[in-house]
Amino acid sequence: MSDKNYLTVKDLHKSYGEGGSYAQVLKGVSISISKGEMCVIQGTSGSGKSTLLNCIGGLDDIDSGNVSVAGTFVEGLKGERLSNYRRDNLGFIFQFYNLVPNLTVRENIQVCEYLTDDPLDIYELIGVLGLTEHQYKFPSQLSGGQQQRCAIARALVKNPKVLLCDEPTGALDSKTSKDILVLLEKINKQYGTTMLIVTHNNSIKNMVDHVIYLKDGEVYKDYYNGTKTPASELEDL
C-alpha cells in the first residue's frame, strides 16, 4: 500500500434483491484515492454513490471485487473484525446528524474518543470546529450547522484514516453549507485527513483534489482538479 493507493476499490460489484426485484447497483467500479486527498463522488440519483460509500465503510456486503483502506481489505470481514475495521480506519458523516439527544456536545464527541487509543486532542478539536461555547449544550439547543459541526467532531476525534461524508451539507442552507465546507477544507489541511464526499451539489467538485462521476453503476469520469477554488469562494451552494 502506497500513499497513492491509500483507498482502493477494484472491480466492485453490488446488487440488491432477487427475482423481479433484483437490481445491480455497482457494475465493476474501480477507483484509487491518495492519502490526504479530498475526493468528491457525484452522479444522479440511483448512480450508486451512496452504495459505493457504504461498501467502503463496511455497511453493505460486497458481491465481488475488493476494497482496501490503508492496507486493510474489507471483503470477508465479519462481526468483531468488521467492527474493528470501521473503528480503526473510518469516520462517518451523514446528512442527518445522528447525535445522542440526551448527551451534550462534548459528551457526544467523547463517545467516539473512547473508541480509540490515539484520539485527537478534544480541546483542540472543539476549538477548531467553533464549538467551545456550545460544548455543554444538548443537540436540541443547537442550529443545524452546529449539530453538523458536532457530528464532524465526533467522526474526527478518533483520528480516522478516511472520513466518509454522505451529503454532509444536504440538510443545510447555502450559507451554513459553505461554513461546513470551509471547515472540512480546514480539517483536511490541518490534520491531513483523507476525505471521500458524496454530494449532489455540483459546486463542491471545484474545491477538491479529485472528482469521480458515477453513471448507472459505473465510473463515467475520473479526473483531478488543476486549480481548486477555496471553499469560501464557492457559488450556488
Q: Give the CATH number for residue 219.
A: 3.40.50.300
**What is the sign of the dihedral through the CA atoms of 68, 72, 77 and 80?**
negative
Per the domain annotation, does 56 fall within a domain? Answer: yes
What is residue 104's predicted lDDT score, i.e. its pLDDT?
A: 97
Per the domain annotation, does 210 fall within a domain? Answer: yes
Q: Nearest 10 degrees: CA dihedral of 204, 224, 196, 3?
A: -150
Per the domain annotation, does 16 fall within a domain? Answer: no
Contact partners, residue 158, CB within 8 Å, separation at least 6? 87, 91, 112, 113, 115, 116, 119, 120
Does the pLDDT value for residue 221 go beyond 90? yes
Would you say 62 and 12 are in contact if contact means Cβ atoms under 8 Å apart?
yes
Q: How far does Cα 119 stand from its chain's mean position?
A: 18
Per the domain annotation, does 26 fall within a domain? Answer: no
Overall residue count recorded for the chain in this entry: 237
Q: What is the mean pLDDT of residues 130-146?
A: 95
Structural domain range at position 104:
36-63+87-233
**Percent with pLDDT over 70 in the chain:** 99
Per the domain annotation, does 159 fall within a domain? Answer: yes
Per the domain annotation, does 194 fall within a domain? Answer: yes
More confident residue, 97 or 221: 221
What is residue 105's predicted lDDT score, i.e. its pLDDT?
A: 96
pLDDT band at 75 (very low <50, low <70, confident <90, very high): confident
Separation CA 148–CA 217 (nearest Å): 29
Model pLDDT for residues 20-74, shown as the tens digit of each residue: 788 999 999 999 999 999 999 999 988 999 999 999 999 999 999 999 999 899 8
Does the pLDDT value for residue 130 go beyond 80? yes
Model pLDDT for residues 166-216, shown as the tens digit of each residue: 988 888 888 888 988 999 999 999 889 999 999 988 899 999 999 999 999
Instruction: Tell me the whole-structure pTM to 2 decimals.
Output: 0.91
pLDDT band at 2 (very low <50, low <70, confident <90, very high): low
Would you say 209 and 41 are in contact if contact means Cβ atoms under 8 Å apart?
no
Does the pLDDT value for residue 1 go beyond 50? no
What is the total count of domains within the chain? 1
Does the pLDDT value for residue 17 go beyond 90? no
DSSP string, 12-28: EEEEE--GGG-EEEEEE
Per the domain annotation, does 7 fall within a domain? Answer: no
What is residue 226's predicted lDDT score, i.e. its pLDDT?
A: 87
Cell of 113: 474518543
- Average pLDDT, rounded, for the chain: 91
